[in-house]
Amino acid sequence: MILPGYTHLQRAQPVSVAHHLLAYAEMFGRDRTRLAAAKASANWCPLGSGAIAGTTLPIRREVTAKLLGFVDAKGRPQVTRNSMDAVADRDPATEFCFAAALCGVHLSRLAEDMVLWSSAEFGFARMPDEFSTGSSLMPQKRNPDSMELLRGKAARFQASLTHLLTLTKGLPLTYNRDLQDDKPPLFDAADQLILSVAVADATLAGTKFHKARCLAAASDPALLATDLADWLVRKGMPFRHAHHAVGRLVALAEKSGVPLDKLSDAAALTADQAFTKGWREVFSLQRGFAARENTGMPGPKAVAREIARWKQSLR
């Protein structure tokens, strides 16, 4: 399914819904990496640190660490390496809250896209009833509540992170009672993240895209002006020249009130001699996508490869 991709909230180039959503797959993929790193940071057993100076009792720290599951990939126990740091440290909690905050930013961007797509003006998507609210009085409204709440969660995660960073700033070693207040932000971030991901998942799963409206919005030939410049480049013209030539053509179309791809061949030649026969071939969405099959591009094969890669990696 094709829809316009945007920069500056202005239609820029045609992309597919799949390609657009894969951008979020990339973001959430990075979030997973960061969450895994936070988990690894917490995977060191502090038992045996005592009040701050360890203990004179004949304990075996590695044994308790192993029994409690503080082990590396090979099952070897991991114990903290400094008793004072173990008592004073709040890094894993802070790292988790950062991973949640950045994931929250990504969720808020997805939410913003969904809110826009669900507006009367865009009209690209229809969210599932369970995650929208209507009004019997204002029936034209389908409020994208779940996505708005999701957008707001970015603020809440950031607040938890701010809480922990400010809390620990400037404290002398080792334990200070201030640190007792690290639980509310940490637990709230965990609870809200689990909830947010579930809401995003279910909302997306139930969302329908209006194929015709998306396609119509993406079908302005002006969105393919870049492809036309590329066409000139492939014929040997330096990109700077090609850019100017297409600019002239576009100005011509605007002035004469004719869509870019409907200009006559003669008119095209007045813009630049290079607009020889066949220049109109670029005004095909199918051609445009087919020419973008390199890694990371929106061509259907490239997109299919990425989907396959993600399915594989999530298996």
Site for its own copies in 143-202 (CB under 8 A): 143-145, 148-149, 151-156, 158-181, 184-185
Binding part of the chain for its own copies, among 67-75, 198-206, 244-252, 265-273 by CB under 8 A, reads 244-252
Catalytic residue from among 83, 108, 118, 135 = 135
Q: Rounded CA gap, 33 and 207, in Å? A: 27
Choose, by CB under 8 A, the member of 51, 67, 68, 308 that binds its own copies. Answer: 51
- Note whether 257 binds its own copies by CB under 8 A: no
Our finding on whether 231 is near its own copies (CB under 8 A) is yes
Instruction: Output 137 or 205, the one with its CB closest to its own copies.
Output: 137
Tokens 């669900």 belong to residue = 118
Q: What angle do CA 270, 271, 276 make, to 5 degrees?
A: 80
The reply to whether 135 belongs to the active site is yes
- Residue in 2, 3, 17, 48 binding its own copies, rule: CB under 8 A: 48
Cα 147 → chain centroid: 14
| Residue among 4, 285, 289 at smallest CA distance from 122 | 4
Q: Cα 70 from chain centroid? A: 32
271 binds its own copies (CB under 8 A): no
- Please check whether residue 240 is in contact with residue 232, taking contact to mean a CB–CB distance below 8 angstroms: no
From 66-74, 193-201, 202-210, 219-227, give the range in contact with its own copies by CB under 8 A.
Answer: 219-227
Whether 244 sits among the annotated catalytic residues: the reply is: no
Could you say which of 122, 206, 216, 267 contacts its own copies (CB under 8 A)?
A: 122
Token pair, residue 132, equals 């929208």
Measure the CA–CA gap between 239 and 13, rounded to whole angstroms. 18
| Catalytic site positions | 8, 135
